[in-house]
Amino acid sequence: MDVQPTNLQISPTHVKMLVPLVLILSLQAVLHIKHAKAKQSCTIAFDKLSADCKGLRLDSVPTTQLPDSLEELDLSFNTIHVIRKQDFVKLTYLRVLKLNFNNISLVLDDAFQGNLLLEELNLFNNSLTEIPFKALEPLTNLKVLEMSNNLYSQASLGAAFLNFNQLKVLSIGGPLVSSLGSRDIYVLKNISLDKFAVKTGTGFRDYEPGYFKSLSTKHLWFDIAFDKNPDLLPKMLKDLANKTFDVLRFRNLFEFQYYTGKRDIFYGLQYVNAQTLTFYRGKFNEEVMRMALKNVEISPIKALELLLIDFARSQNRTQGSSVKNLSLDRLVLSDISNPDIMRFDWSFTWLNHVRKFIVWNVNFNSVPCDSWPEMKSVELLDISNNQLLDSYIYNPLCDTRNTLHKLDTFNVSHNRLTSLSDLASLTKDFVKLTTIDMSHNQLQYLGNGACDWRKTITKVIGNHNSLTSDSFKCLPTSVNFLDLSYSSLDQLDMDYFNKASELTELLLSGNKIKFIPSGWKNRYLRTLALDGNSFGLVSMKSFKDMLSLRVLTAGNNPYHCTCDLYTFIQETTSKGKVTITDWPNNYKCYHPERLLNTMVSKYSPGHLACDITLVIIISVSTTAAVVLVIMLLCYIFHVPCHSDADWVRNHLLPCLENVKPPYRLCIHERDFIPGKWIIDNIIENIENSRKVIFVLSHNFVNSEWCNYELYFAQQRAIGKTFSDVILVVKEPIDPTSLPSKFCKLKRMLNTKTYLEWPQQPTEQNFFWIQLRSVLGKPNSIRPRTISRHSRLSSARSVSLIEAPQIQDPEGPDEEDHQNSPQPSNKCQLTCIEVA
């Protein structure tokens, strides 16, 4: 779509109208910004020793917010322009001051006069047009001074630095520095630094030999682009000859264009005694790589790092491999967009003598079969963070039987691997493999492949995967360290742990395990992490067979606060054999509901509730005591009546039930209905009886149950006479000796004729004639059912029931008697009461 230009004409009148409107809008914007700033304030630590004012868009130091006691102050990422004396004068204890990433263009000479204790000052990435020597001069305690990436054009240090004897870290330079002179850092001759960094601009054009002559540092960082004058690099490397560094680092060696010259610009590397050489960012083609590696090959350098470089193939392909003897302890390829860098000269021979090979975020999509044999010296292979799929690294057609014979550690973490069986197949020929890190993948076992792991594997890091209980079938059993944290496990496979008997450290944090099996045996396990799972029950049985256990982490689980948990915690914390690392803050009750979110440390069910032995002792003792009391009561209420009960059974019943026609009697041990309360049986039988016989003796007077029966018989006689109550005195009783509760019995004995049981056998026949006379002849009754299997009680009552009247005046024969109807509930009953 084409857009045609238009002419916009604004008259002076329009301008006059627009100006006030613009001013009003500008004022509103300023007010809005000021208001927004006013809402933000520094974060002051509780002890008032540090303050965080980072990124608050401050255009000046907020002096009113800062306490005098501050030792650390972070004012980075603001818009401060000028540093004055009054900004920090009251902060006399200040040791760390961060002013990086502001817009500071001026630091006044007396800005730090009140901060003589300052040890770290960061002015990185500001707008300083010159190094503030006067302001820095009193800071003789400085250990860290960051001043690079500013706008000064000269990076020559002044005499003030002669007094910075404690200085360890120094960075200088910026995008406007175009030359480095031989005397620029001469003042550092007596200072031994840990790190020195120098930055120049893209217009860097001049280097005077001798610049580094007086420098002594462990880490030397160059942020220098040699695009326009690559011949300055050999001069600089020559100055570094025979110097010793831990790290020599080049940033943006070629920032905007690839080097295409023929001169070997890395020639001087072979004379630099550096442990680690790092190329950070910058453009590298195959020719530059080859020049660098050929010189590293004959240098003392032991580690090479290629980080975030922009690698490109050269137009002309070389024949054969050019680097075959690169001996390195460590080679790192990180964050490189072109994976062809791994075979930069179309082969992998440059990996022949590399001990530790690390490839991070290079995102290669295959490992050619010819690469495995070239890694014959690799002891550590780290190919993490590469988005690898199983097929990218495991090719069943590749012969790996004679490869990686020295490999000890294999790291494939942070990829997209899914198959445990493929990983086992890949590593089965790594004969010295002891450690494998397969964390942060989607690994699981689908049961569709063999899992033959090397028996040499002792450490497996497998956290953050998608494991199931079946995955245990495809894990190495020779391990002594196993980390399966955050892997979606919901249950444990005891068969696996029985086989993995050498385990000493097991990490299962952050899974979904719902149950800890009791009797989990492992004689060597010392460290166990089970925090963040889903189980709630733990007891002494859970870990009693882990005899070597010393460290346990089990918080953040939905605990059931029970006696088992209480006992386990008490035993574990008191004996001190096992240290619970996250106790007590991560232990809360989930169940029962009334204890939800209660700290387990505050849960105390009581000694009696949880001491099983004590509970058993008390229960047994109480039961025994109750049994003894019952036996004693039975003895008290039953035994004294044996003689009276025997008299009823042996004399009274035969003489009344065996006559023709017979009387029907009700006695408790034969005729009371089972399951009914004793009192209910007493009431019902007395109510249904025509006569009630009380066999009086001294035992009757002492019997509580007989007292009840007499009471109910008296209640029955209320409003009537006592004609239905027959008293049989089995042994002489003095009415005056009766207790007061037998007041009516006393009255009956004093006013009513009673029968006395004669002790002489010759007089007993007359007793029975008198008793039958009082009872009268048996009457006709309706049928009823009386249970013959009644409950035995201490009541000594006997009910006498009259048989139905016989129409035949001659009396019934035996057959008629057997076929006569049974008495009903309203039977005529004689209740005989004995004590």
pLDDT tens per residue across span 106-136: 999 999 999 999 999 999 999 999 999 999 9
Q: How confident is the model at residue 806 (pLDDT cuts 50, 70, 90)?
A: very low
Residue with the larger pLDDT of the pair 392 and 792? 392
Per-residue pLDDT at 835: 38
Which range among 171-185, 364-378, 685-699 shows the weakest confidence by mean pLDDT? 685-699
Which range among 6-10, 243-247, 348-352, 562-566 shows the weakest confidence by mean pLDDT? 6-10
Residue with the larger pLDDT of the pair 745 and 567? 567
Nearest CA to 233 out of 288, 308, 157, 304 is that of 288
Per-residue pLDDT at 252: 94
Q: How confident is the model at residue 744 (pLDDT cuts 50, 70, 90)?
A: low
Nearest CA to 692 out of 651, 728, 740, 719 is that of 728
Whole-number Cα distances in Å, 319 to 316, 352, 569, 810: 10, 18, 71, 147
CA torsion through residues 273, 274, 275, 279, sign: negative
- Classify residue 209 as exposed, middle or buried by CB count within 10 Å of its CB (0-12, 13-18, 19+): exposed
Q: How confident is the model at residue 167 (pLDDT cuts 50, 70, 90)?
A: very high
The arithmetic mean of pLDDT across residues 150-168, rounded, is: 94
DSSP 8-state assignment for residue 781: -
CB 324 within 8 Å of CB 294? no
Rounded Cα distance between 32 and 28, Å, is 6
Per-residue pLDDT at 12: 44
Per-residue pLDDT at 714: 58
Backbone phi, psi, residue 151, to 5°: -105, 15
Per-residue pLDDT at 347: 82
Residue with the larger pLDDT of the pair 563 and 123? 123
pLDDT of 361 > 50? The answer is: yes
> What is the token pair recorded at 574?
């008191």
Residue with the larger pLDDT of the pair 355 and 4? 355
Return the percentage of the chain with pLDDT > 70, whole number: 80
CB 354 within 8 Å of CB 293? no
pLDDT of 428 > 50? The answer is: yes
Rounded Cα distance between 405 and 433, Å, is 8
DSSP 8-state assignment for residue 64: G
Q: How confident is the model at residue 84 (pLDDT cuts 50, 70, 90)?
A: very high
What angle, 0 to 180 degrees and rounded to 10, lies between the N-to-C axes of helices 704-716 and 678-687? 40
- Per the prediction, the chain carries an average pLDDT of 82
What does pTM read for this prediction? Answer: 0.69
Residue with the larger pLDDT of the pair 827 and 164? 164
For 169-204, the DSSP string reads EEEEE-TT--EE-TTTTGGGTT--EEEEEEE--TT-
Rounded Cα distance between 425 and 469, Å, is 21
pLDDT of 169 > 60? The answer is: yes
pLDDT of 22 > 70? The answer is: no
Nearest CA to 182 out of 149, 154, 215, 212 is that of 212
508-557 residue pLDDT tens: 999 999 998 888 888 999 999 999 999 988 888 888 888 899 999 999 99
Continuous segment of H or E residues that includes residue 495: helix 494-499
Residue with the larger pLDDT of the pair 835 and 515? 515
577-613 residue pLDDT tens: 899 999 999 999 988 888 888 888 888 886 666 766 7
pLDDT of 762 > 90? The answer is: no
Q: How confident is the model at residue 209 (pLDDT cuts 50, 70, 90)?
A: very high
Residues in the chain, overall count:
835
Give the residue ranges of DSSP H helices in 576-723: 607-610, 612-638, 642-647, 653-657, 668-671, 678-687, 698-702, 704-716
Per-residue pLDDT at 292: 93
pLDDT of 83 > 80? The answer is: yes
The arithmetic mean of pLDDT across residues 36-64, rounded, is: 88
pLDDT of 246 > 80? The answer is: yes
Per-residue pLDDT at 672: 77
Nearest CA to 282 out of 313, 258, 247, 265 is that of 258
pLDDT of 439 > 80? The answer is: yes
Four-CA torsion 607, 609, 611, 612, nearest 10 degrees: 170
Per-residue pLDDT at 825: 33
Pairing of strands 327-334, 459-461: unpaired
Neighbours of 555 (CB within 10 A): 21
The arithmetic mean of pLDDT across residues 254-275, rounded, is: 92
End-to-end CA distance of the chain: 125
Per-residue pLDDT at 702: 66
Neighbours of 360 (CB within 10 A): 18
CA torsion through residues 286, 289, 291, 297, sign: negative
Which range among 112-126, 166-180, 641-655 shows the weakest confidence by mean pLDDT? 641-655
The residues, any chain, with a CB within 8 Å of residue 209's CB and separated by 6 or more, are: 182, 235, 238, 239
Per-residue pLDDT at 814: 38
Per-residue pLDDT at 96: 98
pLDDT of 419 > 80? The answer is: yes
Q: Helix, strand, or coil here: 650? A: helix
> What is the token pair recorded at 732?
């002489």
Place of tokens 């050269």: 314
Place of tokens 């000479």: 109
Rounded Cα distance between 55 and 89, Å, is 23
Residue with the larger pLDDT of the pair 470 and 698? 470
Per-residue pLDDT at 826: 30
677-730 residue pLDDT tens: 676 777 777 777 878 887 877 676 666 556 556 665 555 544 445 567 788 887
CB 198 within 8 Å of CB 173? yes
Q: How confident is the model at residue 27 (pLDDT cuts 50, 70, 90)?
A: very low
Rounded Cα distance between 530 and 514, Å, is 11
Per-residue b or e along 162-182, where b marks 16 or more CB atoms closer than 10 Å to that residue's CB: eebeebbbbbbbbbebebbee
Residue with the larger pLDDT of the pair 416 and 762? 416
Place of tokens 């009766």: 738
Per-residue pLDDT at 794: 32
Per-residue pLDDT at 576: 80
pLDDT of 37 > 80? The answer is: no
Rounded Cα distance between 124 and 104, Å, is 10
Per-residue b or e along 133-146, where b marks 16 or more CB atoms closer than 10 Å to that residue's CB: eebbbbbebbbbbb
The arithmetic mean of pLDDT across residues 369-384, rounded, is: 93
pLDDT of 795 > 60? The answer is: no
Rounded Cα distance between 94 and 120, Å, is 9
DSSP 8-state assignment for residue 354: E
pLDDT of 829 > 50? The answer is: no
Q: How confident is the model at residue 309 (pLDDT cuts 50, 70, 90)?
A: very high
Residue with the larger pLDDT of the pair 676 and 214? 214
